[in-house]
Amino acid sequence: GENVEQHPSTLSVQEGDSAVIKCTYSDSASNYFPWYKQELGKGPQLIIDIRSNVGEKKDQRIAVTLNKTAKHFSLHITETQPEDSAVYFCAALLRSGGGADGLTFGKGTHLIIQP
Amino acid sequence: DAGITQSPRHKVTETGTPVTLRCHQTENHRYMYWYRQDPGHGLRLIHYSYGVKDTDKGEVSDGYSVSRSKTEDFLLTLESATSSQTSVYFCAISESGRGETQYFGPGTRLLVL
């Protein structure tokens, strides 16, 4: 199966600065990598995703990069704002012939934006 | 939450009792998933469904069963609840491709005493 490692577990940045969260995955056959934001007491919210045929994707202040050779992908948030404070999860999708197509998640990064 | 509701939102039960959690969607998406979220483990897949009456096991399926008799409803049953099943349970749905673009519901917090 797939294994996803996520770092750091906690990240504190000044408002307006950039934040970077990194994940590595174990199975080179994984081909879809989403990022989720989870606020306290709520379900995870999909914020951006990338497929293995793409190296980078941007959506306003958020970007994701993928390095297939090294098997790692990163979330970049620029010009951080207080509302970016949350727990962020990376995930990887490994499709198998007859098995589960659920996501394998990292353990999360608690992002704290300092005013 | 992308037209997903979960019920109940909170439940306290005793060890050995059966528990059923419900996920209801209004998006008519084909794929539905049940995950559990625990500190130190992140989210882990329990079961998933790829259509009415079509289900399969995930990473942590022991002690759980599921049913899907209608597109919009996916039920998770704990046949005999144990304290290790105390967790927050999330339902997710997706339409495009197997496993991609999953949207999560608000969760059910379950405490087994």
Which residues in chain A touch residue B98, judged by CB atoms under 8 angstroms apart?
A: 95, 101
CA atoms in the 13 A half-sphere facing the CB of B89: 32
The CA distance from B88 to the nearest CA of chain A, in Å, is 10
The CA distance from A7 to the nearest CA of chain B, in Å, is 13
Mean pLDDT of chain A: 92
Residue-wise pLDDT for A23-79, tens only, equals 999 988 888 999 999 999 999 999 999 998 889 999 999 999 999 999 999 999 999
Q: Does A2 touch chain B (CB under 8 A)?
A: no
pLDDT at residue A98 is higher than 60? no
Q: Does A54 touch chain B (CB under 8 A)?
A: no
> Is B43 within 8 Å of A49 when comparing Cβ atoms?
no
Q: Nearest chain A residue to B5 by CA: give it.
A: A43
Neighbours of B54 (CB within 10 A): 11
pLDDT at residue B1 is higher than 60? no
B20: amino acid identity, one letter: T
Residue A83 is predicted with a pLDDT of: 96
Residue B105 is predicted with a pLDDT of: 97
B33 vs B36: CA distance, rounded Å: 10
Reply yes or no: is the peptide bond before residue B18 cis, omega within 30 of 0. no
pLDDT at residue A113 is higher than 80? yes
Among the partner-chain residues B33, B42, B59, the one whose CB lies closest to the CB of A107 is: B42
The CA distance from B67 to the nearest CA of chain A, in Å, is 16
